Amino acid sequence: MANNEIPGARLRLYLVRHGEVANFSERVVNGQKDVRLSERGEEQTQKVADELSRRPITAIYSSDLYRSRRGAELLGQKLGLKVVLMRELREMHFGEVEGLGWAEAVKRLGDSPLQWFDWVNNRFPGGENLLMLRERVIGAFRKITGQDQGETAIFAHGGVNRVILCEELGIDLKNFFVLDQSYACVNVLEYYSYQAKVIRLINGDISCLGPLLRFDFY
């Protein structure tokens, strides 16, 4: 490589949140409960798969829960790729309140501000806190970023994506909720030599990928 040549990204990663879930209007604590997508969620998922199928993606990873797996499998069908399912990429486990409406969950656990505003240190009974979620997710994420090259897609969940973004941005987990992750959003992360990385996009609509990636800003 010439001295004045700037190397391109070793890995471009598309981190996607699943589409709208079927029980969205019921405000349910889904966690690791395996729920379906709403009609709108299916449409969002198809749109994501269609747009990403235009990219030279060579590897697809996903949570094994349906709401994330659906998009990964659609993309895999379009590109002729097998999806690697990883339980480590499942959403945060909310234990005893999983499957309950948020109002009912609050009643079940009480109104302790520590429980509801400090997810870092306070573990949901029978479930996880954010430290446990990070340990589970980041271990799997590092395997992907350490071995993959080219362009890769990961289909996961709001909590999982926030943990990854906090880690890559160097943000304390107490700021977990500062990062929005809308249904069917896409985040674009690039990894270069010498452990350098660039976060190109956070919580973006899939339709902005074309303009964003039309040119390479190396």
Residues with catalytic function: 18, 91
What DSSP character marks residue 184?
T
Buried b (16+ CB within 10 A) or exposed e, 91-120: bbbbbebbbbeeeebbeebeeeeebeeebb
E-only strand ranges, the chain = 11-17, 57-62, 83-85, 150-156, 186-191, 197-204
How far apart are alpha carbons 67 and 64 in whole angstroms? Answer: 9
C-alpha pair distances (Å), 123 with each of 62, 133, 171: 25, 10, 20
